[in-house]
Amino acid sequence: MRTLQEGELVVETTLSCVSPGTELRELSLLQREGVDIVPTVPGYVKIGRVLHAGTSGLQEGQRVVITGPADTGPYKARWGGHVSHSIVKANGVISIPDGIDDYQAALARLAAISCHGFRLTPKRAEDHVAVIGLGAIGLFAAKFYECHGHHIVGFDRSPQRVELARHWGIKAEIVTETVAEHIHRQFENGADIIVDATGISAVAVDAINGLFMPPKQKPLQQLSRYVVQGSYPDVLTLPYDPFFQHQTMVLFPRDWEPNDLHMTFELINKKQLNFPSSLCTIHKPEEASEVYRKLGDRQTSLVTALFRWV
């Protein structure tokens, strides 16, 4: 590895994690800014230990989440999680609190994306929440609302993902009709908040009528909210009239912020949030090709995957 510059450190990777929607979209060249970095080092999340602290002020052996760009040598990378060692700047890492193991930390970093959407969305204690799409981001979003006392139901066409949600204590239902019909069976007046974590443009057309319809000629208490939390290709088309009739606030949370990760860590430390081992499988790095193939299969029960490096 090259000589460290001021404020840089070497991190040895212990676990890396896949963000399926974002990574598969980019690897399929459906994300325009991803075209110029192919071939690339995939891997959205990287957990590791400081191997050489340099002048960074951190301690060797300290466990960190890498949050900024990493130097992965001759290989291009947007996140570059799937490497054994990388050079990063000290301001591109967040320390992992004592008491939180690497598995919890890796999934906390991925869950921070869902936390960002949760934090940005205006909420009331009495809100009914429908989460559509129970992949990783949808599951995490459902859990954040559930942790904070909201009445939440998750929906997915995959029986395996619905079962995974139920195993984690999330009320969930298999979708066999329109999403709106399923939502109204759970919430007579519709959902106050819909979190769409599917990454499928057509879902909005199906789901929008599942929102609460504000009565006309009466004071509006709260806008209906539609949170576009999934990872989409270039174009997302929303039907104007039903969004207009429901007086819908549409939110597009962008990625995550350090406060989202800190909030997730805090929930873990308070025993309000715990990522069960059933959420994902742990693999050897040399199994990556097959794992990514399975994650790209619409019929898969996998929601994400981890790779163990040491």
**pLDDT of the residue at 42:** 86
Contact residues for 146 (Cβ-Cβ < 8 A; gap 6+): 152, 169, 170
Instruction: Tell whether 76 and 40 lie within a shared domain.
Output: yes
**pLDDT of the residue at 297:** 80
Instruction: Tell whether 153 and 226 lie within a shared domain.
Output: yes
Instruction: Tell whether 35 and 89 lie within a shared domain.
Output: yes
Instruction: Tell whether 238 and 167 lie within a shared domain.
Output: yes
Instruction: Tell whether 84 and 149 lie within a shared domain.
Output: no
Instruction: Tell whether 127 and 67 lie within a shared domain.
Output: no
Contact residues for 241 (Cβ-Cβ < 8 A; gap 6+): none
> Diameter of the chain by CA atoms?
69
3-state helix vs strand vs coil in the chain, percent to 5: 35, 20, 45
CATH of the domain at 220: 3.40.50.720
DSSP 97: P
* Burial class (CB within 10 angstroms; exposed 0-12, middle 13-18, buried 19+) of 297: exposed
Instruction: Tell whether 22 and 79 lie within a shared domain.
Output: yes
Domain count within the chain: 2
Opening angle at CA 270, ends 254 and 259, nearest 5: 25
Distance CA 94, CA 299 (A): 35
Run of H or E residues at 95: strand 93-95
Residue 117 lies in a domain: no
Residue 116 lies in a domain: no
CB of 197 closer than 8 Å to CB of 230 = yes
Residue 154 lies in a domain: yes
Run of H or E residues at 65: strand 63-66
Amino acid residing at 291: V
Residue 54 lies in a domain: yes
Pick the last residue of a domain from 202, 233, 251.
251
* Per-residue pLDDT in tens (0 to 9) along the chain, 310 residues: 788 889 899 999 999 999 887 888 777 765 555 545 667 788 889 999 999 998 888 999 999 999 987 787 777 777 788 999 999 999 999 999 999 999 999 999 999 999 999 999 999 999 999 999 999 999 999 999 999 999 999 999 999 999 999 999 999 999 999 999 999 999 999 999 999 999 888 999 999 999 999 888 667 778 899 999 988 877 888 999 999 999 999 999 999 999 999 999 999 999 999 999 999 999 999 999 999 998 888 777 789 999 999 9
Instruction: Tell whether 18 and 127 lie within a shared domain.
Output: no
Residue 203 lies in a domain: yes
Residue 191 lies in a domain: yes
Quote the domain boundaries for residue 212: 122-251
Amino acid residing at 210: G
Distance CA 185, CA 164 (A): 21
Instruction: Tell whether 25 and 91 lie within a shared domain.
Output: yes
**pLDDT of the residue at 35:** 47
Instruction: Tell whether 235 and 288 lie within a shared domain.
Output: no
Pick the last residue of a domain from 251, 270, 286.
251
Residue 94 lies in a domain: yes
Q: Taking the mean position of all CA atoms in its chain, how far away is CA 235?
A: 20
Instruction: Tell whether 177 and 217 lie within a shared domain.
Output: yes
* Burial class (CB within 10 angstroms; exposed 0-12, middle 13-18, buried 19+) of 242: middle
Distance CA 61, CA 93 (A): 13
Pick the last residue of a domain from 235, 251, 267.
251
Residue 234 lies in a domain: yes
CATH of the domain at 67: 3.90.180.10
Instruction: Tell whether 48 and 97 lie within a shared domain.
Output: yes
